Amino acid sequence: MVLVAGTGMTAFNRRKDGSGFRDWAGAAFHESLESAQLCRDDIDALVVASESDFFSMQLNPASVLADDFGLTGVACQRVEGGGASGQLAVHAGAMMVLSGAARHVAVVGFEPSASYLSGAAVSELYGYSFDAWTDGMTGISATALYALSAKVFMARSNANQEDFAAISVQNRANACDNPTAHLPLEITLEEVVDSPMVFDPYRRLDCSPLSDGAAAIILTQPEDAPASRRGAARIAGIGAASDRVRLGDRGDPGFFAGKQAAARRAYAMAGIEKPETQIGLAEVYDAYSGAQLQAIEALGLSRDYLTEHRSGGFSPSGRLPVNQSGGLMGQGAPVGATGIAQVIACARQIEGTYHDGLQLKKLPRYAVADTHGGVATSCAVTVLVGAGN
């Protein structure tokens, strides 16, 4: 297993203070080093996650950040997989540790999604993250494609708009106790349902915000960590998979088949045979409210996900808390940092060091972090476990 020796992240928000991604990434990196009780000279590899050069206007950010961090001479690389970039960077770092290629790997993700470009420009760029020829260049937006998938899911599962709205209410309520969150809100079901329609069935409050921010973790073998950090959470399983890019080419456009395949690989590596009973916490990719239910289904986290959702089974006090951090809708979504922030939330929950008001009283044995790019086109899943398991 790979130890998550240190964690660090900035607040996720819209920056108006003149700072940039290099400032945020540096702050997250140095916090993770301090958390890991390691020195800069201990790091021998850097993996950087960032979705788009257009947001940062910096090609090859890995070498630039290595220089900023004082890591000259270390191996460095960038990982990009759309919304899955952060989680895939975690996987790349974990594989470097497991292979023996590096002893201490820093994984740093960032994205200036909110401050550099207009909302319209960002929306256009996100359209190009699907099939640029058939989707982005025709003017189809990410919201429209997610909405099409959600409509198919609703027809098959009997989920309704209030089911989706309840997710927005819950995740943003969770974010109220998260000091790093971008969009903590106390809202009602009626306010979500009455908010402006974007693309049916998604209304404005069903959508996650554009965010700025950075997150970082330090990965190592348990025996290579300081003695005081050897009880930290560990990565027990990783899995990734892809699906057809265009929704119309899929057998069921409402089912996240790539996510299911990624999860099965991660579970197999972690030795998990019954995720619906063994997983005690999930941080899933809720770019849109309905995508959370679609993720729960694909990850195999419930035998009857709709009934359990309606009865509060995925609430903070339920059987399986989902997006305790607030998720993308509440905590925010600087894409390159998102998957890493999910791993941080899971690791800190397992260790019992998460935010006051959000820390689970019963520490989860296993937690799962899940992200994807496109409409679950490039999927990445990470399973974390406590040190005593």
pLDDT tens digits for the chain (389 residues)?
999 999 999 999 999 999 999 999 999 999 999 999 999 999 999 999 999 998 999 999 999 999 999 999 999 999 999 999 999 999 999 999 999 999 999 999 999 998 888 888 888 888 888 888 888 888 889 999 999 999 999 999 999 999 999 999 999 999 999 999 999 999 999 999 999 999 999 999 999 999 999 999 999 999 999 999 999 999 999 999 999 999 999 999 999 999 999 999 999 999 999 999 999 999 999 999 999 999 999 999 999 999 999 999 999 999 999 999 999 999 999 999 999 999 999 999 999 999 999 999 999 999 999 999 999 999 999 999 998 77
The pLDDT, as a whole number, for residue 158 is: 98
For residues 272 and 21, what is the distance between their CA atoms, to the nearest angstrom?
37
- Tell me how far CA of residue 44 lies from CA of 41, 80, 242, 269, in angstroms: 8, 21, 30, 26
pLDDT of residue 75: 97
CA distance 132 to 140: 10
* pLDDT at residue 117, rounded to an integer: 83
Backbone angles phi and psi of 386, in degrees to 5: -70, 160
pLDDT of residue 135: 85
> How does DSSP classify residue 247?
G
Contacts 24+ apart (CB under 8 A), 264-267: 264/239, 264/300, 265/237, 265/238, 265/239, 265/240, 265/241, 265/381, 266/237, 266/238, 266/239, 266/368, 266/381, 266/382, 266/383, 267/237, 267/239, 267/300, 267/383
What is residue 380's predicted lDDT score, i.e. its pLDDT? 98
Token digits of residue 5: 């020796």
**Rounded Cα gap, residues 168 and 157, in angstroms:** 19
What H or E segment, with its residue span, contains residue 47? strand 45-49
Q: Which residues pair with 272 in a beta bridge?
A: none
Q: Dihedral sign for Cα 292, 297, 299, 302, please.
A: positive
Give the C-alpha separation, 263 to 360, whole Å: 23
Q: What angle do CA 115, 166, 267 make, to 5 degrees?
A: 80
Q: What are 219's strand-pairing partners? A: 4, 105
Domains in the chain, start-ordered, CATH in brackets? 2-117+211-229 (3.40.47.10)
Calpha distance 276→368 (Å, rounded): 11
Distance CA 178, CA 359 (A): 10
pLDDT, residue 124, reads 86
- Is residue 234 within 8 A of residue 389, CB to CB? The reply is no
